[in-house]
Every structure is written in structure tokens, then in C-alpha cells.
Structure 1
């Protein structure tokens, strides 16, 4: 008589749990799962009553080359801000789409892309080189504006030209989707 517990689905379940327990396999599996989830997760804009207005653009950052950036320079532009870390599986999972978004909009005069981390510059440079990413990395010098209530990562915001947070997404997502590009295009074309 065959045991009820030796079903193929139970065996797969036990193997997946075992792989998640082993430290060397945990992160790659988490990244793979988050990539799958982010491929089907396209964020949408917030309802009007959920949107927050930035009251303060007083935020200093520094890029990976040591050059300062004042968030005040982003005023009047569409801003995509992603808070992330090199050790975070959902962050790693969404990085290919964020890099593609960066490549598409990096030279657009009305769009600012800020990928913000607290990781050391050497660590982020190694991470980018290993994965072939081209996006710029920023580290905060001062505290971010209160409207960005970041208590978990990845966390991504899209801010319109008038300083309204129109999109706020926690977790991995596909940032290079047609829907996101349409949101950015609509915001760029909107008159202030």
C-alpha cells in the first residue's frame, strides 16, 4: 500500500521548504520567486484621497561618484524614487526592470530617477558590475521628506510635477511595463 505522504506534491513541498532553510540556497530561491511575482505585478496610481503632497524638498543625496544631489532640483519634474538594498531578494528581483526604466528615461529632461540605498558605494558598484546594471545609485546624506514613510524595502514612489505622490508601491514589481511608462508619459505631459 502506498503512503499518502509520498505524493509528488508533498515531495516538492518538502524539497522547497528544505531549500529555503539552507542559507546558501535561500536568497537565490527568494529572488526567483520574487521575479516571478514581480513579472505579474504592475503597480497602479493611488486614488486621489490616498495621494500625499510633498511639503518639503529638503533632502540631500550623494551619488556613487561622490557628487551631491539636492532633491530640490527635482521640483517640477516627474520623479521615480526606489529605496532598495543589495541584500534584499525582492529588491534584486525588480532591479532588471528598474535598470531598463533607467535606460529609457535617463536622458529625459522632465524625469528624475533616484535609486536610493544605504549600502556602501563599493558594495553597490560590485553589485551593478556583477549584474551589468547601468543605473545611478544614490545614498541619503540627510533624512528623506516625511511623505516618504519608508519602513520596508523595496519601496518605490512616483511623484508628479506638482509634488504629489501618485504611486506608492512596497514590494517587487515590473517597473518597465507599458502601464508604468504610460503613467510616466501622462505625468510628463500634464501641465502644472
Structure 2
């Protein structure tokens, strides 16, 4: 018993490390930690904003139907690059779902992945998400290219990239909702 009393911190530390090594427990732990450290994404300063030059970008919906991003020209749009295996991506999905439920009729949402449709459908069904998922079939416009997952963009009606966020964020914050309301009113 004295061994346990003396080394309980070390035992706890090694148990935690072991849980991080096991794939079935690693992902939930990483998602939980990501949610704890997620903050509202930051708006770019006006003098640092890029304009999206090209809206011509072909995507596929999960049902196989083709869509062109040009349908969102002149509208407020949110583009999120993500994957089901990415803990930060999974961590921010609940906040995106809540935002989509509130703004889905007024803002164009694009959740873009390169994964197989079956895997994505299973993930969406398991988590009860109803987000508009698109499969990337062609390269994104130059200003929307990123090698980091997740990466999210908020684009104004005038094609300005208002937010360019890498990593998990809380997209359902009052700050983002106020910003969306402002952009929709323009």
C-alpha cells in the first residue's frame, strides 16, 4: 500500500500515456482537450484581408451531385476543410453544427473533405450532424489552399476573406454570430 501512496502520481501519469497510445482512447481524449482550448476565431484586420479572385471550384455532394462554388459568389460563405480522423476537426464540429442550425438558410456552408463518402456518411450519422458535406474533386481556389486540417474561411459578399483560421475554434461564439449578422446586413 505504501508503494501506491508513494508513486500514485507516476502511476496516473503512465496510465494517461497508455490511454494516449491506444487508438480507441486517444481520439476522444484529443477531441476533449481540443474543445477545452478552442476559442473564437479571429477576424483579419481590414488592411490584411485578401479578396477571393476565383469562385470557379467544382465540388461533389455526398450523393454524387456536382456543385460549383461560384453559386456562392455575392453571398456570405463559410468553407471548412476537415477529416473524420482529425481530432481538432472533430472537436469543432459541434460548434459548426449549432452555427449551421442558426444560419444555414442565410449563409452558404461548405464542409470539404477528401475522404471516402461511406466513411463521411457513417461519421455524420453517428454524430447526428446535418452539415452540408462536399468532396473535393478539384483543387481549391488559390486563396483557399491550405495543408493544415482543419482550416476554415469566412468570406463576405464582396469576396473578402474575413477569417482564415487554422486549427480548432469555437464557431458558435457570440463574436462570430455578431460578425455574421453584420456581414449579412451589408
The two structures have a TM-score, normalised by structure 2, of: 0.91
Displacement over 4 Å in runs of 4+: 5-11
Match of 1:100 in 2: 98
Which residue does the alignment assign to 1:33? Answer: 33
Match of 1:124 in 2: 120
Which SS does the other structure have where 1:61 is aligned? strand
Moved more, 10-19 or 67-76: 10-19
Structure 1 segment 103-182 matched on structure 2, within 5 A: 103-108=101-106, 111-182=107-178
- Indicate yes or no: 2:119 matched with 1:91: no
What do residues 8-51 of structure 1 show as CA deviations (whole Å, max 9, x unaligned)?
5554433322221222221111111112122xx11120112332
Task: Return the alpha-carbon distance in structure 1 between the equivalents of residues 32 and 11 of structure 2.
Answer: 20
RMSD over aligned CA atoms reads: 1.8
Tell me if 1:184 matches 2:173: no
| Unpaired runs of at least 5, structure 1 | none
2:40 aligned with 1:42: yes
Deviation track 1:27-86 (CA, whole Å, cap 9, x = no partner) reads 111111112122xx1112011233211111110111111221111110111110010001
- Secondary structure at the aligned position of 1:87 is classed as coil
Partner secondary structure for residue 37 of structure 2:
helix
Q: Please report how far the alpha carbon of residue 95 of structure 1 lies from its aligned counterpart in structure 2 after TM superposition.
A: 0.7
CA distance in 1, matches of 2:12, 2:48: 41
Unmatched segments (≥5 aa) in structure 2: none
TM-score normalized with structure 1 length: 0.89
Deviation for aligned residue 1:7: 6.3
